[in-house]
Structure 1
Amino acid sequence: MSECEVERAVQNKVSKGLGYLAVALLGVLAAVAGVVSYQAGRVDFETVTGKQYRWETLEQQWVVVNYFAEWCSPCLKEIPELNHFFRTRPGDVQLFGVSYDLLSVADVQALKQKYHIEYDLIVADENTRLPVSKPQYLPATFVIGPDGTIAAELMGEISSKRLVEVLEKLKSKPL
Structure 2
Amino acid sequence: MKDNPGMKHQSSGASRRNVILGAGAAAAVAGMGLALWRWEPKAVMDASHHPVWSGQFETPSGEGLRMSTFHGKPLLLNFWATWCPPCVDELPMIDAFWREHALNGHQVVALAIDQPSAVRRFLDRHPLGFSVGMAGLAGTELAKSLGNAAGGLPFTVFFKADGSIWRQKMGQLTKDDLIQWRAAAV
TM-score by length of 2: 0.56
Identity %: 23
Match of 1:8 in 2: none
SS in 2 for 1:147: coil
Q: Which residue identity lines up with residue 47 of structure 1 in the other structure?
A: T
SS in 1 for 2:178: helix
Per-residue CA deviation, residues 18-45 of structure 1 (Å, 9 max, x unaligned), is xxxxxxxxxxxxxxxxxxxxxxxx8622
Larger-gyration structure (1/2) = 1
Match of 2:180 in 1: 165
Instruction: Write the mapping of 1:52-91 to structure 2, written as runs, cut at 5 A.
Output: 52-91=64-103
Match of 2:135 in 1: 124
Per-residue CA deviation, residues 66-124 of structure 1 (Å, 9 max, x unaligned), is 111222221121122112112112431211112222x22x4322121233433221111
The alpha carbon displacement at 1:51 in A equals: 4.1
Instruction: Write the mapping of 1:127-138 to structure 2, written as runs, cut at 5 A.
Output: 132-133=143-144, 135=148, 136-138=151-153
Q: How far apart in 2 are the matches of 1:85 and 1:165?
A: 12
SS in 2 for 1:98: strand
Match of 1:141 in 2: 156
Residue of 48, 57, 66 corresponding to 2:60? 48
The alpha carbon displacement at 1:61 in A equals: 0.8
The alpha carbon displacement at 1:131 in A equals: 6.6
User: Residue 87 of structure 2 contacts residue 154 of structure 2 at CA under 8 Å; is this kept in 1?
Assistant: yes
CA RMSD of aligned residues (A): 2.9
Q: Check 1:60–1:96 CA distance in 2 against 1; reply closer, same or farther (3 A cut).
A: same
User: Residue 58 of structure 1 contacts residue 146 of structure 1 at CA under 8 Å; is this kept in 2?
Assistant: no
The alpha carbon displacement at 1:52 in A equals: 2.5
